[in-house]
C-alpha cells in the first residue's frame, strides 16, 4: 500500500479546495519555511547591523490575526457547541452535507489556512533580528501545525 492510495479516501467535501488535493504543497511551504528560518533568514540578517522596523506591518498583521482568530472561535462554537450538539468529549465525524457539518469543515479549513499565515510570525522575528525568540520549540510548533491540520481537514474535519 502506498501513500497515494490514501488520498482518495479523504473527505469529499474538501475536494478541489486550494491546497487540499495533495499534501505536497503544504510540505513544500513548510520546507521553505524551515530553510528560511533555520538557515537563510538568519544568515541574511546577520550581515545587517540592525533589524527592520516593522511596526506598521506588525500592527496590521496582529489586528488582522485577532479579528481572524475571533471569527474562527465564533465559527467553531456556532457550528459545534452552540446548538450543534458537541460536548467537551470527543465527537464522531459528521460526514453529511448538512449546513452545520459543512460549516465545521469550512472553519477547520480556515484554521488550517491560519496556521500557514502564522508562519509569518517567525519571519517577523528574524526580520527584526529577534533571534532569541526563534527557539527549537517555536520552529517545531509552527512547522508541524500546518501539516497536522492538513491531515485533519483532509480526513477528519
Told to judge if 138 belongs to the known catalytic residues of this protein, a careful annotator would answer no
Share of the chain above pLDDT 70, in %: 97
Kindly name the residue from 141, 147, 151, 152 that is annotated as catalytic: 141
Q: Given this model, what pLDDT does residue 32 score?
A: 96
Q: Which tops the pLDDT comparison, 132 or 75?
A: 75
> Which set of grid coordinates corresponds to residue 21?
488535493
User: Rounded distance, CA 40 to CA 3, Å?
Assistant: 31
Q: Given this model, what pLDDT does residue 52 score?
A: 81
**What pTM was computed for the model?**
0.90
Assess whether pLDDT exceeds 80 at residue 82.
yes
Amino acid at each position: 500500500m502506498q501513500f497515494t492510495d490514501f488520498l482518495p479516501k479523504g473527505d469529499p467535501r474538501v475536494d478541489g479546495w486550494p491546497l487540499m488535493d495533495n499534501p505536497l504543497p503544504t510540505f513544500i511551504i513548510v520546507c521553505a519555511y524551515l530553510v528560511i528560518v533555520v538557515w537563510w533568514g538568519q544568515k541574511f540578517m546577520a550581515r545587517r547591523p540592525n533589524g527592520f522596523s516593522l511596526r506598521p506591518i506588525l500592527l496590521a498583521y496582529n489586528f488582522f490575526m485577532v479579528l481572524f482568530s475571533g471569527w474562527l472561535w465564533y465559527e467553531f462554537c456556532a457550528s459545534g457547541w452552540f446548538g450543534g450538539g458537541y460536548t467537551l468529549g470527543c465527537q464522531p465525524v459528521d460526514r453529511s452535507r448538512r449546513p452545520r457539518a459543512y460549516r465545521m469543515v469550512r472553519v477547520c479549513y480556515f484554521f488550517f489556512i491560519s496556521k500557514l499565515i502564522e508562519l509569518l510570525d517567525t519571519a517577523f522575528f528574524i526580520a527584526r533580528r529577534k533571534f532569541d525568540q526563534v527557539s527549537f520549540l517555536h520552529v517545531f510548533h509552527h512547522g508541524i501545525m500546518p501539516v497536522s491540520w492538513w491531515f485533519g481537514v483532509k480526513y477528519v474535519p
